[in-house]
Amino acid sequence: MHRTLGNRAQKSAFALTSALALLGALCISGRAQLQPEHSTKKSVAETNRGLLGLPANAQGPISATLGKKDFSYQVRPSNAGFRGENPRQRLIVDFTEQGAELRSHDLRWALSTRAYGYGDTLQPLKAVTPQADANRVEYRRNGLTEWYENGPLGLEQGFTLAHRPAQGNGQPLTLELALRGNLSVALDHDGKALNLRAVNGRTVFRYTGLQARDATGRELPSWLEVRGESLLVRVADAQAQYPVVVDPWVQQAELTTSDGAADDEFGYSVAISGATLLVGAPGKEVGSNIQQGAAYVFVLSGSTWTQQAELTVSNGKADDDFGYSVAISGTVAVVGAPGRTVGTNRKQGTAYVFMQSGTTWTQKAALTSSDGAAKDSFGHSVAVASRTVVVGASLKTIGSNTLQGAAYVFGPSSGKWTQQAELLASDGAENDQLGCSVSISGGTILAGAPGKTVDSNTYQGAAYVFVQTGTTWSQQAELTASDGAKTDSFGGSVSLKGATAVAGAALHTVGTHTQQGAAYVFVQGGTTWSQQAELTSSDGENFDNFGVSVAVVNGGALVGASLHQVGSNAEQGAAYVFKQSGTTWSEEAELTSSDGATGDSFGYSVALAGTTAVVGAYGKKIGSNNFQGTTYVFVP
């Protein structure tokens, strides 16, 4: 078994052994969860950004190697054993015969391995004296070595089992961990997540998305059980090939607004850049203006996400739908208001640019298209990279083609934001709705057209790649799904990172499951883009709408399924984490909310930065406020 206390544990840590490796059965993220309230000026998320940009299977070993070379991460003898500090994570950990105790500000949590085996037949483990070498601490027992490595990404804990503990006889592989500290624990009803709560009952950590796979990548049933002050990690490994990997994600925060109200639809759109989140609430009533809309900025300070700003426009009107779409890159935020009336053109739409200075966000531009017209829905989607802004106008009429759609590129010039290009599909047609979704990475733009007729399949959908050459943008490729079908709505969501593109098809039928949904991964080779994978959920059902939202980073993707039924809760929603290994993409975790309920629409919007996942649930009822909405942050 293997888990990471600072970042998701890495499979490669066990790649050279034939032992069983359980990865991340519990994760405490020192990077975000166990950090003092008073953090350094430069956030941990920012300082770690370089490491987190590495491939996932390289992060752990490189962090350990850097820690070994940096004296500040090395452990030193203490009265009771050894003590280590993690300067970036602001953690102190004491290693004694009883196990490891982590401390950060007033949070304390101790854990020790008590027994292992199968079912309830467990072999007790005796206390042993820890041994240390540089930044590594080991507890060596016959057949089992428990180890810790300290590095910039946090304190990593792992277990190496030299062989199966015993004959399973149909019972699950079990590791028993003793838990101590000033946090109480509560298990979700499905046994897949654990909540750690402070004395006031507030959940401060959440362990969720429990997954187990064997060496072939096959998923194994796994679950958690709590017995008193013990946590049991169970894995059905009867047919498994070793090593086996178990990997959860941690719900770091549930965000609501300081002035939340019914019908705000907070979480309808989400975006993340480093340690800054931007969340749209297009239904927000501002003054007496119903559905004028707002957007909220949250920043990570220590272990807490706090609201830094509420963005609105001074001349906002009812039905603007400001916050329908959001995007952020560094100190630049963009908010779409597709319902905005421009001049006499109702619902022409506008996109607003805000820039950060210290803790203040100031509106710098109100973008409109040079050929804007009524009902264009300009601002239906927005994207930004550095200071290049892309805005979709999915309902725009081109020539005689109603709802063909377009996307527009803007950039700063002489102190003003000006339109640089209007992007149209080379085979644009009526009802294509190009610009329903947009994404940008460097000098490449991806725009979805979910209404596109492909061959004779109406509304199958497509996505278009545009590339920049000097000041000119031109179409490079048209992407369609290899198994595309009528009404798939491929391109309803898109995300682009470097040479990898993901497009959602939320209405795609998978097997016999109508509108279960799928997401497709494409990779670039020269000027050609080819489909690499089709992503579907392991527990997909009819009408899940998997693919209604997508996000991609190097080595991973996040896909929302906002209508997925969780337990007996219809349309509660879920989001799925996928990990890339070479040309293979596999489901790593299923994210659900700790307080999920019917109609939340969790997963309608998603965003991903490094290993931080953001999921919007705009339908969430808060108190008596229907559709107030909320947003969740998860880390591994």
**Residue 304 clears pLDDT 50, i.e. is over it:** yes
d(C-alpha 329, C-alpha 388), whole Å:
10
| Over residues 225-239, mean pLDDT | 87
Q: CA 114 → CA 98, 119, 120, 230, 480, distances in Å?
A: 10, 14, 13, 9, 53
What are the pLDDT digits (tens) for 475-503?
A: 999 999 999 999 999 999 999 999 999 99
Q: Let me know whether 112 and 136 are in one domain.
A: yes
Looking up tokens 């109609």 gives 599
Residues with Cβ within 8 Å of 560's Cβ and at least 6 positions away in sequence, in order, are 546, 547, 548, 549, 550, 573, 574, 575, 602, 603, 604, 605, 606, 615
pLDDT for res 519: 98
What are the pLDDT digits (tens) for 373-406?
A: 999 999 999 999 999 999 999 999 999 999 999 9
Q: Let me know whether 233 and 278 are in one domain.
A: no
pLDDT for res 27: 21
CATH number at 330 reads 2.130.10.130
d(C-alpha 419, C-alpha 424), whole Å:
14
Is residue 215 very low, low, confident or very high in pLDDT (cuts 50, 70, 90)?
low
pLDDT for res 150: 82
Q: Which residue has the higher pLDDT, 101 or 198?
A: 101
The least confident of 154-158, 340-344, 361-365, 410-414 is 154-158
Instruction: Give the percent of the chain with pLDDT over 70.
Output: 83
d(C-alpha 7, C-alpha 13), whole Å:
13
If phi > 0 it is left, if psi is from -120 to 50 it is alpha, else beta; for residue 121 that is beta
| Over residues 31-44, mean pLDDT | 31
Beta bridge partners of 385: 388
d(C-alpha 498, C-alpha 115), whole Å:
46
d(C-alpha 570, C-alpha 589), whole Å:
20
pLDDT for res 187: 85
pLDDT for res 223: 87
Last residue of a domain, one of 247, 269, 285: 247
| Over residues 466-480, mean pLDDT | 96
pLDDT for res 319: 97
| Over residues 123-140, mean pLDDT | 90
Q: CA 118 → CA 7, 21, 233, distances in Å?
A: 28, 16, 11
SS (H, E, C) 306-321: EEEEEECCCCCCCCCC
Q: Let me know whether 537 and 393 are in one domain.
A: yes
Q: Let me know whether 361 and 462 are in one domain.
A: yes
Element (H, E) at 51: helix 49-52
Domain assignment of residue 527, given as a range = 252-635
The least confident of 34-38, 428-432, 557-561 is 34-38
pLDDT for res 320: 98
DSSP helix/strand/coil, 11: helix
Written as one string, the DSSP assignment of 429-449 is -TT--BTSEEEEETTEEEEEE
| Over residues 562-589, mean pLDDT | 94
**Torsion sign across C-alpha atoms 88, 90, 94, 100:** negative
pLDDT for res 7: 29
CA angle 463, 548, 219 (to 5 degrees): 105
Q: CA 333 → CA 99, 133, 321, 325, 426, distances in Å?
A: 46, 46, 16, 11, 30
Looking up tokens 């405490």 gives 28
Last residue of a domain, one of 247, 265, 290: 247
| Over residues 581-609, mean pLDDT | 94
Is residue 25 very low, low, confident or very high in pLDDT (cuts 50, 70, 90)?
very low
| Over residues 452-456, mean pLDDT | 97
Q: Let me know whether 298 and 239 are in one domain.
A: no
If phi > 0 it is left, if psi is from -120 to 50 it is alpha, else beta; for residue 414 that is left
Tokens standing for 224? Answer: 């958690």
| Over residues 451-464, mean pLDDT | 97
**Residue 66 clears pLDDT 70, i.e. is over it:** no
Beta bridge partners of 185: 196
Q: Which residue has the higher pLDDT, 175 or 52?
A: 175
Is residue 164 very low, low, confident or very high in pLDDT (cuts 50, 70, 90)?
confident
Please give the backbone phi and psi of residue 130, each rounded to the nearest 5 degrees, phi first.
-70, 150
d(C-alpha 74, C-alpha 148), whole Å:
11
Q: Let me know whether 295 and 198 are in one domain.
A: no
pLDDT for res 252: 78
If phi > 0 it is left, if psi is from -120 to 50 it is alpha, else beta; for residue 430 that is beta
Q: Which residue has the higher pLDDT, 590 or 219?
A: 590
Q: What is the pTM of this model?
A: 0.70
Written as one string, the DSSP assignment of 515-528 is T--EEEEEEEETTE
| Over residues 278-289, mean pLDDT | 97
Q: Let me know whether 168 and 305 are in one domain.
A: no
Is residue 205 very low, low, confident or very high in pLDDT (cuts 50, 70, 90)?
low
Q: Let me know whether 231 and 269 are in one domain.
A: no
d(C-alpha 564, C-alpha 548), whole Å:
11
What domain count does the chain have? 2
Last residue of a domain, one of 201, 223, 247: 247
Q: Let me know whether 319 and 179 are in one domain.
A: no
The answer to whether the CB of 22 falls within 8 A of the CB of 159 is yes
Reference 55, options 611, 579, 555, 578; nearest CA is: 555
Q: Let me know whether 274 and 163 are in one domain.
A: no
Q: Let me know whether 207 and 297 are in one domain.
A: no
| Over residues 599-628, mean pLDDT | 96
Q: Let me know whether 41 and 159 are in one domain.
A: yes
